[in-house]
């Protein structure tokens, strides 16, 4: 199992704060707390260009494997340099419901036993839809997500790169969804009683 870094983001959904996270497996392990923080900051700098201004980075966690407790954590919500918000503007578009998401994926160059491609995929919430209706994601957000995906193929922090759960870097290419999809959040607001 590869080391990984998890970035937890927060946005308002149904009147309460809702968190979602993205975990990036790595082809190495950062040397110390400062290196973990630099890695998390580097990934966030790339992510925030396609993430809505109404989504904030709140926590970061580092793991040496998927089965071990975090060896590094950072509370971005308490950082005096914050808040750490996405930079994709919510203008000329309509926000989708909170359970809607879009994905960025990376081709691993591998196939299942049935011949289907295997991808690394990350889901992001607070989707901006075109104002013309339907479930098409605003072109600018798709373009920014695609750029993020392409950049992650070569992005390095302290010699550590994004990889799959086995520590192997994906050759790519990267792609971003053009339509919103449903991705159920872990904590959903309860519906009011009758």
190 in any annotated domain:
no
Q: Answer whether residue 184 shows pLDDT above 70.
A: yes
Q: What is the mean pLDDT of residues 20-32?
A: 97
Asked if 53 contacts 128 with a C-beta cutoff of 8 angstroms, the reply is no
Name the band, by pLDDT with cuts 50, 70 and 90, for residue 1. Answer: confident
Looking at residue 70, its pLDDT comes to 96
Looking at residue 6, its pLDDT comes to 98
Q: What is the mean pLDDT of residues 180-188?
A: 76
Q: What is the mean pLDDT of residues 45-54?
A: 97
Domain count, the chain: 1
194 in any annotated domain:
no
Alpha-carbon distance 53 to 89, whole Å?
A: 6
Closest Cα to residue 122, out of 106, 145, 103, 148? 103
192 in any annotated domain:
no
5-9, 13-17, 53-57: segment of lowest average pLDDT: 13-17
Looking at residue 193, its pLDDT comes to 44
Which structure tokens are listed for 133?
Answer: 């209706």
More confident residue, 179 or 188: 179
191 in any annotated domain:
no
Asked if 102 contacts 187 with a C-beta cutoff of 8 angstroms, the reply is no
Q: Answer whether residue 182 shows pLDDT above 90.
A: no
Looking at residue 188, its pLDDT comes to 54
pTM above 0.85, yes or no: yes
Name the band, by pLDDT with cuts 50, 70 and 90, for residue 19. Answer: very high
106 in any annotated domain:
yes
Asked if 163 contacts 122 with a C-beta cutoff of 8 angstroms, the reply is no
Domain of residue 18 covers 4-182
30 in any annotated domain:
yes
Closest Cα to residue 58, out of 72, 70, 69, 44? 44
- The share of the chain scoring above pLDDT 70, in percent, equals 95
189 in any annotated domain:
no
Looking at residue 194, its pLDDT comes to 44
The full DSSP string for 12-77 is EETTEEEEEEEEEEESS--SSHHHHHHHHHHHHHHHTTTSBTT-EEEEEEEESSTTS--SEEEEGG
């Amino acid at each position: 199992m590869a080391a990984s870094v998890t970035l937890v983001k927060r946005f308002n959904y149904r009147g309460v704060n809702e968190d979602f996270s993205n975990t990036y497996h790595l082809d190495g392990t950062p040397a110390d707390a400062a290196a973990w923080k630099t890695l998390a900051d580097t990934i966030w700098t790339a992510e925030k260009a396609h993430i809505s201004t109404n989504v904030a980075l709140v926590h970061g966690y580092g793991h040496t494997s998927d089965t071990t407790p975090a060896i590094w954590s950072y509370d971005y919500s308490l950082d005096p340099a914050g808040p750490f918000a996405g930079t994709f503007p919510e203008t000329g578009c309509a926000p989708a419901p909170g359970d809607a998401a879009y994905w960025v994926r990376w081709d691993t160059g591998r196939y299942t036993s049935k011949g289907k491609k295997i991808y690394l995929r990350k889901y992001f919430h607070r989707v901006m839809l075109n104002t013309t209706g339907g479930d098409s994601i605003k072109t600018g957000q798709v373009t920014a997500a695609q750029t993020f995906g392409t950049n992650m193929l070569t992005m390095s922090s302290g010699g550590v790169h994004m990889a799959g759960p086995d520590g192997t870097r994906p050759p790519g290419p990267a792609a971003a969804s053009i339509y919103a999809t449903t991705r159920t959040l872990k904590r959903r607001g309860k519906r009011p009683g009758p």
